[in-house]
Amino acid sequence: MTARIEAGWGERGFVEAGASLTAYQRAGRAGAPVAILLHGSPESADALAAIAKRLARRFDVIGLDTPGNGLSAPLTAPDPESADYARHLHAFMDVMRVERAALYGFHTGAGTAMSFALSFPERASALALDGYAVWTKQERADFLAHYLVTYAPAWDGSHLASIWARLEEQRLFFPWYDRRIAARMALPVPPLELRLRRLRDWLTAGDGYLAPYRAAIRRQGEIGPDRVEVPTLIGAMEKDPLAAHLGRLGAVSPAVTIERWSEREAALDRLAGFLFEHPGEPARGLPQPAQPPAFAERPEDLPWQPDGHGGFLLQIWQALRQDAVARAVDDADLAARLDPERLHAQLVAQVAAHTGLGQA
């Protein structure tokens, strides 16, 4: 098996925005009104392909990797809130020379889009929010205590099994650590290509995924829909865990429309159509590009035979260790080459190369 995923849906670029290196993808019609897309956590702009392709028919579409996710550097603030990510989006739009844009947000991205519209209403022409979180006080405390986990690299590669299992559990239960029938999600098994992309996004983000997730959990979702001024569509798929949150919104502003959807393609068409009705403005020029981040060097000819249980990660790990042992010239060099952090960085580079972020 030589499973791959699409290498993104648009042209990749990098800019310095708010003192943070920010990765983005761009597609669609040059000179058309801009639509900016915000993904959920812990993913990247690659997750936005379906909506991006629809919007690209009429818009200049830009999807960014949230700071700390994908290939974007974390924010410099030590413990950022949702408002910090909104300010980063403002800085990103300035760098991209976008004065006013239509915004699409999925889950975490939806919260950021709402925070942005509250702080900078003049910069948003409309919001299309695809799953919007309104946590209870109990859920917030529970999630902050249990949801956010990290797995330090271990010499034997056992952390890789934990990472794979964590990602698999998230498609079975919500929240992922609540293994009860009540938390079970009746979702079909996604194709291997999608699971590999999610694995890649987790690996490339590393511990950087924690901050945007933490900010999203702390955010009070009931604040915003009651007062937002720009045209706003808030909806969720019936099987989305956040569909239940629509009933928690209470009174909403006249600018807000709330919907529930049963069919995904129709939902995406509706979200795109809503933004088509409320376009922003074209960009005023091109941004000043920045250098992309570099991945660790990796040996050539490593195994790449993805499977549905994650065992291939241990194959890569063992090959990396064998190569390290073979290349070492003395004990100090051997210890350095076998450092789990170094091996993990090489494994991340291998996965990235085969999933659209490098040369395979």
Tell me the residue type at 133. A
pLDDT per position as a tens digit, 93-123: 999 999 999 999 999 999 999 999 999 999 9
pTM over 0.75: yes
Average pLDDT for 7-30 = 94
Section 73-86 average pLDDT: 95
Extended beta strands in the chain, E state: 11-17, 20-28, 34-38, 60-64, 101-106, 124-130, 232-237, 256-261
- Measured CA angle at 178 (ends 176, 184), to 5 deg: 80
pLDDT at 3: 46
Please tell me the predicted confidence (pLDDT) of residue 2.
Answer: 44
Q: What is the pLDDT of residue 5?
A: 52
What mean pLDDT value characterizes the chain? Answer: 95
What pLDDT, on the 0 to 100 scale, is given for residue 96? Answer: 98
Considering the chain, what percentage of its residues have pLDDT values greater than 90?
Answer: 92
Res 157 pLDDT > 90: yes
Reply yes or no on whether the pLDDT at 6 is more than 90: no
* pLDDT at 1 (0 to 100): 37
Question: In angstroms, rounded to a whole number, what is the distance separating the alpha carbons of residues 77 and 315?
Answer: 38
Task: Please give the Cα distance from 74 to 70 (Å, whole number).
Answer: 10
311-326: pLDDT as tens digits: 999 999 999 999 999 9
